[in-house]
Each structure stands twice: as C-alpha cells, then as structure tokens.
Amino acid sequence: MAIRGIIFDLDGTLVDTIGDLTVSLNHALITNGFDGITVERTREIVGNGVRRLCSEAAKSSRIEQVEAVLAVMRAHYAENYKNVTQIYDGITELLNELTGRNVFLSVLTNKVEDVSRDIMKHYFSSWEFYPVYGAVDGRELKPDPEMLHKIMEMRGLSASEVLYAGDSEVDIQTARNAGVKSVAVSWGFRPRAELAELEPDFLVDKPREILELLDK
C-alpha cells in the first residue's frame, strides 16, 4: 500500500538545533555550578526529553539538582531557540514535493510541546503539519507508541500507510513499537554506523531519498 502520511521527529530530523540547545544547556549547567559540555556530547545524549538531557549533562540523578538545571535551561532556550537553528538542506524541497503529492505531514518529538509548536510556526509555516505533538507533563515520551497511534487515528491512517522518520535509536524503537516502518536519517545527531546497527526499515542520507520510499 502506498504511503499516505509521514510523521517526523523534529530535532536532528527537520531542523539542526544542536547549537542553540548546547548554549542553553551550558548556561543552565554553569549557572548551577556544573561544568559545561561540548556540542559532541550534547549530540550523544539528546533525544530522550529535556529532563534526562539535563540529568545526563550534569551527571546527577538528584531531583533538586536536575530540576534546577532544567528550570534555567527552559527559560533560556525559550528566548534563544532561533539564534543559529536552521532547517536542514533538502528539507524544504522534500516538504514541497510531499505536499504536492498530498502526503499528510505530522510531528512527534520528545521536545517540549510548546517550544516545538513555536519552532514549527517559525520555520515551517509554509506547510501544514497536523498535529504537532511533543512532551507535556503526564504524557509518556517516545519510544512509547501512544501518541504515534493517536496521530494515525486522527489522520485516518493505517500502519501500512505511515512512515516515521527520525535520527535516533529512540525514533527507530518508536516506529517499531507502533508497528510502522522506520526511516532513519543520517544527517542528524547520531552517526550513520550507529543507526545502521539498529536495523531500521530504511536508512537515508538525503531528504529527497524519502520520496523513493512512498510506494515501497
């Protein structure tokens, strides 16, 4: 059956957010007496929600310490998420082609939902992404498949009509848990070799390669 909908991860898939994330994270770490981390380290630990990101960056599991870092990071990032963040090369052309083919577009991310929707409005207002779901209190994060299933239900899509595209092990597992085919993208935050070892259904190196998957 042909693909009728593609659900995308956000960070590392549609937009390169690593620079702004690292600056805000380091501001929060240093403010709370921790050492800052490198961009490379941020790439390694991002993807499981901002609370876990702060915990791993601070090398702390103490709730009060993690919450302190988290509060500062959220406040700083909310004012600085557009400084150097950019749409990945080739994404604009991909979205234009998908829209022209009447493929439904949605986003499911572990990024805080309010910020995710702000980013989508700022960078992707030319395309219809519906719905855009992210992290909110009381909702399970990926790789729990609940919200992916909800998107499919809202758009009237069966599992065989959907691709889930993302750049991490979390995204591959989310697709697997939901019973849909995974598209791992190598231009994001995880090395290509690492993604290949996880055996996604598809592994692409350029956004345009996703177009070749629509009839597979």
Q: What is the pLDDT of residues 34-58, one digit of tens each?
A: 999 999 999 999 988 899 999 999 9
pLDDT band at 1 (very low <50, low <70, confident <90, very high): low
Residue 34 DSSP label: P
Judged against a pLDDT cut of 80, whether residue 122 lies above it is answered with yes
Q: Is the pTM of this model over 0.85?
A: yes
Q: What is the pLDDT of residue 210?
A: 98
Contacts of 10 (CB under 8 A, 6+ apart): 17, 107, 109, 111, 116, 119, 120, 134
Averaged pLDDT, 14-23? 97
- Separation CA 93–CA 126 (nearest Å): 12
Q: Domains in the chain, please, with CATH?
A: 5-16+85-213 (3.40.50.1000), 18-80 (1.10.150)
